[in-house]
Amino acid sequence: MADATPASRNRVVDLIRVLSILVVVFGHWLMAAITFRDGEIVPGHLLELADWTHPLTWLFQVMPLFFFVGGYSNALSWRSARRRGELYGMWLRARLRRLALPVVPLLLVWTLGGWLALRLGLDWEILQLASRVALVPTWFLAAYVVIVTLAPPALWVWERFGWWSIAGGTALAAMADWLSIDRGVVWVGFLNYVLVWGTVHQVGYAWVDGTLAARWRRYALVVVGLGATLVLVWLGPYPVAMVGLDTAEITNSYPPRVTLTFLGLFQAGLVLVVDPLLERWMARRNWWAAVVAVSSRIMTLYLWHLTAMITIVGLALLADGWGFGVEPLTARWWLTRPVWFAVLLVPTVILIVVFGKYERPEIDDRPAPQWWRPVLAVLLICAGLGLLAAIGIADGDGLNGLVLSLPIVGVVIGGISRLRSSRPATRAAV
């Protein structure tokens, strides 16, 4: 697969996507400061236990980078579709098959596992906590699916207005923050899932069109992004941590705040400044092969890595907390983190082997659907994933079956899945 890569492909885009997901995976595992005391699980979060870690999130909150490189990829994809005369419905269906189909087995496993756990006497509140942790990745996936759905009209806006579209999106995100934080109109803040991430996505369009080719513009992104983020945190109501904390009254990520827009500019600028070095690395066959290997199962890794962690914690709970007696933040705790990562990699790799095939669906040669069908799929998928984040997988009455089924229903009636195939499966290229 690495050797078959076209020379025209921007390998740095794939590298940044892979590095972003790896930072998310190992970051989530590191944040879990879990202990067992007196036979009970005591959940902990590294960022809540150690304030000194908060500035580090300016580099390790990598969701802006994911949307940045997503803008680059989606611009190329939609323009290629336009040249082929491909309709929007067909293009969106193809994108959703790569993004949404891998979620279905995850939800099915949690539905079946949750049902069995409740029947075996597991307290619903423990299941609620475990599922909320494990399904965190689906919430960010829902936001990305929305931005992908809006990518074609957003690209038209970029082609018409250029950098004014980025300035306008930033201004609207700041206005949404003002209304939600200062004026108490809380719901307006959630518009920033489109405004903040959509604006960072637009910067990816600037990259693909070459308007960031000049080095001074790349350094300008670094200076403007970092400077504005510093000012907003120093003078505004925004916390230092760019990752949401349950103990914080205002967070930068739930909902996304304008701080993440400027953080995205800062991070994008850093990537572009070192882009020549990264290109040289990706020209080496072994480095590129490693990126291709991770990239081929990147969605599976992202979706299942926290389920793997919950599995290990559950097994430890059955073993009276064996292996979780180390006090967080002690020297021993830090020294055992590599062991913790190695243990978690075992079930993660197993899950990738079992479920990775759903990430690479067969080529879909069906006729183009009406545009509303994949859009309906997006609405149902994102509604279900959003409700899962808000109310969880279970309550005192049992599983929230309707919420769990909404994304699956969206995949089916939206025509994302191929219920029948008269030809052998052919895997799409990376």
Contact (Cβ atoms closer than 8 angstroms) between residue 349 and residue 312: no
Count of domains in the chain?
A: 1
pLDDT for 321: 81
- Measuring CA to CA, how many Å separate 375 from each of 198, 365, 416? 17, 19, 10
d(C-alpha 216, C-alpha 114), whole Å: 54
Which residues pair with residue 256 across a beta bridge? Answer: 253
d(C-alpha 298, C-alpha 349), whole Å: 12
User: Any idea what the Cα angle at residue 151 is, between residues 191 and 14, rounded to 5°?
Assistant: 110
430, part of any domain: no
Contact (Cβ atoms closer than 8 angstroms) between residue 67 and residue 207: no
270, part of any domain: yes
289, part of any domain: yes
The helix/strand/coil state of 398 is strand
- Cα 80 to chain centroid distance, Å, stands at 25
Contact (Cβ atoms closer than 8 angstroms) between residue 328 and residue 395: no
Count other C-beta atoms under 10 Å from residue 357's C-beta: 15
In the numeric block, the tokens 């189909």 are attached to 101
In the numeric block, the tokens 């990259």 are attached to 207
Cis peptide before 152 (omega within 30 of 0): no
The helix/strand/coil state of 399 is strand
Contact (Cβ atoms closer than 8 angstroms) between residue 292 and residue 430: yes
- Cα 149 to chain centroid distance, Å, stands at 15
How many residues are given for the chain? 430
423, part of any domain: no
Both tokens of residue 401? 């079956």
Segment (H or E) for 42: strand 40-42
Contact (Cβ atoms closer than 8 angstroms) between residue 24 and residue 62: yes
Count other C-beta atoms under 10 Å from residue 79's C-beta: 14
Handedness of CA 329, 334, 339, 340 (dihedral sign): positive
pLDDT for 421: 45
Buried b or exposed e, range 254-264, using 16+ CB within 10 angstroms: bbbbbbbbbbb
Digitized pLDDT (tens) for each residue of the chain, 430 residues in all: 888 888 889 999 999 999 999 999 999 999 999 888 877 788 889 999 999 999 999 999 999 999 999 999 999 999 999 999 999 999 999 999 999 999 999 999 999 999 999 998 888 988 988 898 899 899 899 999 999 999 999 999 999 999 999 999 999 999 999 999 999 999 999 999 999 999 999 999 999 999 999 999 999 999 999 999 999 999 989 999 999 887 788 999 989 999 999 999 999 999 999 999 999 999 999 999 999 999 999 999 999 999 999 999 989 888 888 888 889 999 999 999 999 999 999 999 999 999 999 988 888 889 989 999 999 999 999 999 988 887 888 888 888 888 889 999 999 999 998 865 434 444 444 4
d(C-alpha 237, C-alpha 230), whole Å: 12
d(C-alpha 197, C-alpha 66), whole Å: 10
What DSSP assignment string belongs to 127-179? HHHHHHHHTHHHHHHHHHHHHHHTHHHHHHHHHHHTHHHHHHHHHHHHHHHII
1, part of any domain: no
Instruction: Tell me the residue range of the domain where 32 lies.
Output: 11-413
Contact (Cβ atoms closer than 8 angstroms) between residue 330 and residue 376: no
Which residues pair with residue 42 across a beta bridge? Answer: 35
List the end-to-end C-alpha distance of the chain, in Å, as a whole number.
Answer: 8
pLDDT for 361: 83
421, part of any domain: no
427, part of any domain: no
pLDDT for 420: 57
